[in-house]
Structure 1
Amino acid sequence: MVKSRKAANGAYPRSWLSGAPPPRWVRVLPVLLLVGVGAASLTDSVPLDIGFLLGAVPPLAVLAYGPWATALLGAVTIALLTIPVFHLNQPGDTDLFTLGFVATLSVFVSFVRGRRDEQLDLERTVAETAQRAIVPDVRRRVGPVRCASLYRAAERGTLVGGDFFDVGPGPHGVRAVLGDVQGHGLSAVATVASVMGAFREAVLDDEDPESIAARLDRRLVVDSARTEHAELFATAVLLDFAPHGREVRVLACGHPPPVLLRGGAVSTLELDPGPPLGLGLADVVPGTVATVPLRPGDRLLLASDGVLEARDASGAFYPFVERLAGMTGVGLDELPHEIWADLSRFAPRIQDDVTLLILTVDTSGPG
């Protein structure tokens, strides 16, 4: 879940056919058709039987113009057919009535399209605001922790799916989470909202990662009980940064462990993971919290299944750690996009949410 949010957190840029403004060539096309037919008719003294082409002008105008501009283009079209100097084969009354009807109908369709576009824009704005409230952009700095993130939703046109992540300050330090709920796309949004709300409360109240995991687990268990056969669960990694910035406590709940970038070396943290959240086992069979010493410049990289389980055309998994070894010199802010570009080249068809969260402690700046 990180401007499109494809340029930022996950929404793919809208195409013309998905509600984006029409490209310039669509706006120019009806005008070019008018000018082209008019110019062709003036350059030849023999009447040309090309007036039928003008029948396409009003429908084309509907794609890019409002009702007034569509009406104007329709009127110019009729004028071209009736002005003798253009020699457009002297159309009969039936031709003119037909073109007039098409132009009038195009004006009506343009009016309806404009109203529908306004309503869709309003609904899209409301939806994007709600989705950004669920998984907002992570700040570039939270206390002593510098952050970089990227999110690509599997379902096009959405800003949030089944992945979640956040970095928040609290009275007990800076806490971070990255996880993946069951399923993806819009069907998982309600679960993501519930988990994120529980995590933000836990940052303020709970003193250790185990307590945070137990709170998230209970939240999912309660939500699952409301719906028969819901079976809600999530995997997650929780990080708890020490106030002095020299170590971080890490707890994995059914999720792959973070990767540590230290200088030119890349290694996966060795953790004793606990069960996924939502099974009611966080208090019964908790995972073991690992304390990881941090050196200046160390970076912790958390990734979702969309990265770790991406496959190429042959079915081979994306070699995440091996590929990171060639990116250790990339800056913090550029690294998520470098990974995404490399992943896109490796696996052209990515069918799961892709989330990356990179964290490093920097005590030199304001915290």
Structure 2
Amino acid sequence: MVKARKAAAGAYRRSWLHGAPPPRWVRVLPVLLLVGVGAVALTSSTPLDIGFLLGAVPPLAVLAYGPWATALLGAATIVLLTVPAFHLNRPGDTDLFTLGFVATLSIFVSFVRGRRDAQLDLERTVAETAQRAIVPEVSPRVGPVRCASLYRAAERGTLVGGDFFDVRAGPHGVRAVLGDVQGHGLSAVATVASVLGAFREAVLDDADAESVAARLDRRLVVDSARTEHAELFATAVLLDFAPHGREVRVLACGHPPPALLRGATVHALELDPGPPLGLGLADVMPGTARTVSLMPGDRLVLASDGVLEARDATGTFYPFVERLARMAGTAPDRLPDEIWADLIRFAPRIQDDVTLLILTFDGSGAP
């Protein structure tokens, strides 16, 4: 669901050292230092040689404030040094000139930082808009299927990596795909865009999962031929929900099968997988799609390699099916976040894109 994906996005929020606004303590620090030095100096009965601490106020102000606020804090430090009531050991002209120079330089740096931050914010907004256009948020409900998802790109600061997923309704029923292209990060974004574009066309035109897989395979073969030594390929699992009835056909193309969560039980579907997409073999040796009968409330849980191949400190793979069984009572819209929280507890260092797609069959019709 949209809610699940938005909540998930918060876990990879940028730190203030990577472009996010500074935390409150950074904004408060120069003011606290200024007030603290002044308070100690006023309450001391003898002059104190602590005026040098005020030299840190303007540079600290640069981290969180604009030019005007930085200038105000710089002026306050000079006033504090020169007012006799504070007894800051009578600073000489050199000290005052040095502090004035540092304050002036800090104002200039604050101005430059503000301009650069504004430009970076604009570029980041454009980049995020483009990335969300490639992998948009999945609707909470597509026909008789309720959807929840989570996406974590391995490359810091990006929204899209080498994983892809989508759920679309068409004349042949609801179609879903989840997969992983070769590589991850920004280098894989173009391939993801190409694969998803082909999938969205296939939803409207192709009659079955095998035909969809063949179209995606041809798309990657053509794209790979345009670039020398590209060798583009992707693994994927395709789901084809019948327009009427309670059946779904599942086809794996080099990708692990989904898990079926029914009540308190969970098991991975047994499939006869075909080759990965992009090798030109989808028409020659396609996999065999399995038809699965569904009951209201059944949940199909699709996961990318970032989940299935995550390891703990000892090198043990994440036991996806076993852990999923413990979460049988979790609401479908909360299940992606629950799995993610469990995954990062098990394997704190996640180095691949992580994608989860939860599809819940609901034959009750539109809400």
Do both share a fold (TM > 0.5)? Answer: yes
Shift of 1:8: 3.3
Are the counterparts in 1 of residues 143 and 365 from structure 2 also a CA contact under 8 Å? Answer: no
Alpha-carbon distance between aligned partners in 2 of 1:6 and 1:94, rounded to the nearest angstrom: 54
Could you report, residue by residue, the CA deviation over 1:321-365 in whole angstroms, capped at 9, with x for unpaired residues?
A: 111221111111111111111111111111111111111221214
Amino acid at match of 2:320: F
Long gaps (5+) in structure 1: none
Structure 1 match to 2:23: 23
Identity %: 87
Aligned to 1:13: 13
- Measure the CA separation in 2 of the matches of 1:324 and 1:354: 16
Partner-residue secondary structure (3-state), 2:99:
helix
1:65 aligns with 2:65: yes
Map Cα deviations across residues 268-304 of structure 1 (whole Å, 9 max, x no partner).
1111111100001111111112111111221111111
Whether the aligned pair in 2 keeps the contact of 1:258 and 1:268 (CA below 8 Å) is: yes
- The residue type equivalent to 1:150 in the other structure is L
Report the counterpart of residue 108 of structure 2 in structure 1: 108
- Residue 149 of structure 1 is matched in structure 2 by 149
Q: Does structure 2 conserve the Cα–Cα contact (< 8 Å) formed by 1:5 and 1:159? A: no
Q: Is structure 2 residue 122 aligned with structure 1 residue 119?
A: no
Q: Is the partner of 1:228 in helix, strand or coil?
A: coil
- Structure 1 distance, partners of 2:187, 2:108, is 37
Contact 1:10 1:150 in 2 (8 A): no
Q: Which amino acid aligns with 1:280?
A: G
Secondary structure of the residue aligned to 1:333 is: coil
- Tell me how far apart the structure 2 counterparts of residues 7 and 366 of structure 1 sit (CA, whole Å): 25
Q: Which residue of 2 aligns with 1:133?
A: 133
Paired AA for residue 264 in structure 2: G
Match of 1:300 in 2: 300
Q: Which residue of structure 1 lines up, in the alignment, with residue 234 of structure 2?
A: 234
CA distance in 1: counterparts of 2:245 and 2:296, whole angstroms: 9
Question: Map of 1:313-332 to 2, 5 A cutoff?
Answer: 313-332=313-332
3-state SS of paired residue (2:7): coil
Kindly state the Cα deviation for residue 3 of structure 1 after the two structures are TM-superposed.
Answer: 7.2
* Dislocated runs of 4+, deviation >2 Å: 2-11
Q: CA deviation at 1:175?
A: 0.3
Contact 2:260 2:301 in 1 (8 A): yes
Q: 2:220 aligns to what?
A: 220
Q: Distance in 1 between matches of 2:286 and 2:44?
A: 87
Q: Deviations along 1:81-115, whole A, 9 cap, x unmatched?
A: 11111111111111111111110000000000000
Aligned AA (1:22):
P
Unpaired segments ≥5 residues, structure 2: none
1:42 corresponding residue in structure 2: 42
RMSD, aligned α-carbons: 1.6
1:261 aligns with: 261
Give distance in 1, aligned partners of 2:342 and 2:358. Answer: 16
SS of alignment partner, residue 26 of structure 2 = helix
Change (3 A) 1:5 1:301: closer
1:219-266, CA deviations, whole angstroms, 9 ceiling, x for partnerless residues?
A: 100110111111000000111101124100111111111111112221
TM-score between both structures, scaled by the size of structure 1 = 0.96
Alignment TM-score, normalising by the size of structure 2 = 0.96
Separation in structure 2 between the aligned mates of residue 221 and residue 9 of structure 1, nearest angstrom: 33
Query: What are the Cα deviations for residues 170-197 of structure 1, in whole angstroms up to 9, with x where unaligned?
Result: 1111100000001111111111111011
Question: What CA distance in whole angstroms lies between the structure 2 residues aligned with 1:5 and 1:16?
Answer: 22
